[in-house]
Amino acid sequence: MTSFVAWFTSSIVYGTVIMYGALGETLTQKSGQLNLGVPGMVYLGAFAGFAGGFMYEKTAASTNEFLLVLIPLLCGFGGGALGGLLYSLMTVVLKANQNVTGLALTFLGVGIGTFGGIYVLADAGFLSFATARETAALFNMNINAYIEAGVFGEMFLSYGFMVYAAIILAIVMFIIMRRTRVGLNLRAVGESPATADAAGINVNRYKIVASTIGGGICGLGGMVYVIMYGHGGWTTTNSIEALGWLAVALVIFSTWKPLNAIWGSYLFAFLFWFSNYFPTVTGIVLPTYAPYLLQMLPYAVTTIMIVLFNFRKKKENQPPAALGLSYFREER
């Protein structure tokens, strides 16, 4: 039982990272921008969030709890948003190919994060491991630590506020997209930019703003990974990148719907941890090659979903019609 709870809680925290990435990318893609730079933006956010918290702890004479939370939040969001802004300027203003630009952003983000990490670590006296301890403690503060509600508490109340914030963000995004004029305009831009243009909507502005905010949300995911999951410790790690790709897959899996991303992200993380926890929970010993195969599960599930959706041909489950296409106003 305890190992199942551990499986469950790891999935929630890990899933939250994926959820931020997927929500950011959903917002981006709804404007017709196919940004494959999610891993890069997550990485940028992870690094910036960590560096912000770490440097503040290190330089401030006495730390303020409010700032300890706010600085990593802003830095994480800002790091990802910069990536998103760069991407949208390249694709919207310079009309660069969206796929190529996005992939380049992935490499760029990972590169900058790793490179910057060296300096932060060097500053910390070349420790192979630098930790933003106070920040991590605040982000991991949870209700269960005070009320001790047993297994239930451990499973549902033992997380820092960013876990719940992700769910709220998904709901807010749902409401914005479905119930507001901004959401309507945004979806129109992603579905048919020519129509939106003719209706007087500033297509480029919507694309740039959506990509930038979307990038920022992706960045929050990276910040959550380092501060919450990694307990504030920075190690340049590949798993951030892997999470970024899972987020891209989740956008497709959730059929571009924020509410689906909530359960989808937890499911993805659950499947991702399958090979770790399944043997201990059930007592079944897996062959040594199994973990490598099982880590494919989220992607396999996504592939099956795509095939199923294509069979059903429901228009609402299709990607935005103009996704990945640069918009040129017709001129004679």
Running DSSP on this structure, what letter comes out for residue 289? T
180 binds other proteins (CB under 8 A): yes
The only residue of 27, 196, 226, 269 in contact with other proteins, by rule CB under 8 A: 196
Helices (H), the chain: 2-30, 38-59, 65-88, 98-123, 133-139, 144-147, 150-156, 161-179, 181-191, 193-198, 203-224, 239-253, 258-272, 274-282, 290-294, 297-312
Q: Which is nearer to other proteins, 29 or 158 (CB)?
A: 29
181 binds other proteins (CB under 8 A): yes
323 binds other proteins (CB under 8 A): no
Running DSSP on this structure, what letter comes out for residue 131? E
CA distance 181 to 9: 38
185 binds other proteins (CB under 8 A): yes
Question: Please, are residues 240 and 46 in contact by the beta-carbon 8 Å criterion?
Answer: yes
Question: Going by C-beta distance under 8 Å and a sequence separation of 6 or more, which residues neighbour residue 320?
Answer: 29, 30, 31, 32, 187, 190, 191, 256
The only residue of 97, 195, 235, 280 in contact with other proteins, by rule CB under 8 A: 195
CA distance 116 to 114: 6
The one segment of 21-29, 84-92, 198-206, 262-270 that binds other proteins by CB under 8 A: 198-206
Q: State both tokens at 296.
A: 């494919």
CA distance 131 to 137: 11
- Closest among 211, 181, 219 to 43, alpha carbons compared: 219
Site string for other proteins, 129-148 (x = CB under 8 A): --------------------
199 binds other proteins (CB under 8 A): yes
192 binds other proteins (CB under 8 A): yes
Site for other proteins in 290-319 (CB under 8 A): 315-316, 318
Q: Which is nearer to other proteins, 18 or 173 (CB)?
A: 173
Q: Which is nearer to other proteins, 288 or 330 (CB)?
A: 330
100 binds other proteins (CB under 8 A): no
Q: What's the min distance (Å) between Cβ of 258 and other proteins?
A: 16
Q: What's the min distance (Å) between Cβ of 262 and other proteins?
A: 22
Binding site for other proteins (CB under 8 A): 180-181, 184-185, 187-188, 191-192, 194-196, 198-201, 315-316, 318, 321, 332
